[in-house]
Amino acid sequence: MTTRISDTFQTLKQAGHLAFMPFVTAGDPDLSATQAVITELGSQGVDLIEVGFPYSDPIADGPVIQASYTRALDNGIRVDQIFSAIEELPTIELPPLLAMVSFALVFRRGVGEFVRRAVAVGFAGFIIPDLPADEAEETAEIVRAAGADLIQLISPTTPRERALKIVKAGSGFVYCISVAGTTGVRDELPAELTEQLGWLRQQTDLPPAVGFGISRPDQVDVLRPVADGITVGPAIVRHLADAANARRHATAPTRQP
């Protein structure tokens, strides 16, 4: 079965291009801004867009994204509001949208209902960091039946035997975590990452995409020969937060003497 995500990677591979997947937090600073950022990213030609669903206890996110989740939750952002905001966008004209979401949010709604609603409003895939591959079969079947992809994650410390099980449970592409730990901007990528990516290419037809810590063009150049895509999160989230803070300060009333 082909999907919007698999078609996107195939087209890019034929053109010799890496997929660029930026990450945005839904509702930070507000949902109108999220809609505007997604629309602008689409107009600038990005290939896929990850949309983070704020959660109070994220498992894989570093301090920058955690802070953005906290701000969104403090503003009252909830799942149904995110769905409504995405539904208002012309998603068929945008690059494929990926829901980065905790399984706790999916389970609370009911896997079938969450997936059905998310696909209906325009999501093409799901990244669920806290859903182990051993327990993902039922969710993967529901996602496939909806015509979408369940993206699985592999870390540098994942044993190869387990990595094989993980890629069999996923579709669309393989999300390769560049370093052990949480998301965040880092100065260097581990040398063993390229070896892992080369090995993965021999084990699966799913394209490998690298995230967690990608922030500079030279890092992208290192990955270009061995990866099919990159994701960038904290650097973008921090920029949006800084811009929102600057606007607030600019519009704050001045104290009269």
- Retrieve residue 81's tokens: 């509001």
Any idea what DSSP says for residue 31?
A: H
Do 22 and 231 meet the contact criterion of CB atoms below 8 Å apart? yes
* Angle between helical axes of 31-43 and 234-251 (0-180°, round to 10): 120
Distance of CA 252 to the CA centre of its chain: 34
Can you tell me the distance from the alpha carbon of 156 to that of 195, in angstroms, rounded to the nearest whole number? Answer: 10
Told to judge if 228 belongs to the known catalytic residues of this protein, a careful annotator would answer no
- Retrieve residue 219's tokens: 């890092």
Buried b (16+ CB within 10 A) or exposed e, 200-235: bbeebebbbbbbbbbbbeebbebbeebbbbbbbbbb
Told to judge if 134 belongs to the known catalytic residues of this protein, a careful annotator would answer no
The residue from 47, 61, 149, 228 that is catalytic is 61
Do 34 and 85 meet the contact criterion of CB atoms below 8 Å apart? yes
The residue from 28, 47, 50, 149 that is catalytic is 50
Q: Which residues are catalytic?
A: 50, 61
